[in-house]
Amino acid sequence: MRREIHAGRIGRFGLEDVTLPNGQQVTLEILRHPGAAAVVPMHEDGSITLIRQHRHAAGGMIWEIPAGKLEPGESAERCAERELAEEAGLVGVLSPLLPLWTTPAFTDEVIHLFLARHLSSVPLAPEPDEVIEPVRLSRAEVERLIDRGEIRDGKTLVGILLAWRAP
């Protein structure tokens, strides 16, 4: 049984009564999310465009790959194309990397990760609630940011790792 507490722009939060595989009955707090897509924009020289985005919940500006929530009826690939253009000012050829659970302890959100290659520029078009700065970085610069703990976003770290390993 589910008791909805709040339905908002990013998902529906509620309490769910469940029976665990061991037979224990518990009430879980669950955020039901429509899913998202994220994309690693990799240029011909191996550099990557990351975005510096203000995230209130994280306390300020963080490094991320372009990403966003799936709109109703939108495919993950179309969402990735849209976010790549809006947030990084780029279009390219996408290839899927991995669907990733973000935090399966309390949400069913899946982010579909993509790699974008053969990139070209288009005008930026961030949403009104987005403060974004795209930055093109060499592999060495990205590695330094990771080593210094400046890139801490999970989807971004996984996406970069998979992009570097892609054929």
**Helix, strand, coil share (%) of the chain residues, nearest 5:** 20, 45, 30
Which pair of tokens denotes residue 103? 């935090």
Q: For residue 47, which amino acid is it?
A: S
Tell me the pLDDT tens digit for each residue of 84-132: 999 999 999 999 999 999 999 999 999 999 999 999 999 988 888 889 9
Q: Note the pLDDT tens digit of each residue in 19-30.
A: 999 999 999 999
CA of 48: how far to CAs of 93, 94, 128, 156, in Å? 14, 14, 25, 11
For the domain made up of 34-100+109-165, the CATH class stated in words is alpha beta
Q: What's the predicted TM-score (pTM) here?
A: 0.94
pLDDT tens-digit series, residues 137-146: 999 999 999 9
* Domain boundaries of the chain, sorted by first residue: 1-32, 34-100+109-165
What contacts 21, CB < 8 A, 6 or more positions away? none
Helix, strand or coil for residue 8?
A: coil
The answer to whether residues 4 and 16 touch, using CB atoms and an 8 Å cutoff, is no
Beta sheet of 132-137, edge-to-edge order: 60-64, 48-55, 132-137
Please check whether residue 104 is in contact with residue 141, taking contact to mean a CB–CB distance below 8 angstroms: no
The single residue listed with the structure tokens 């929530």 is 69
Mean residue pLDDT across the chain: 96
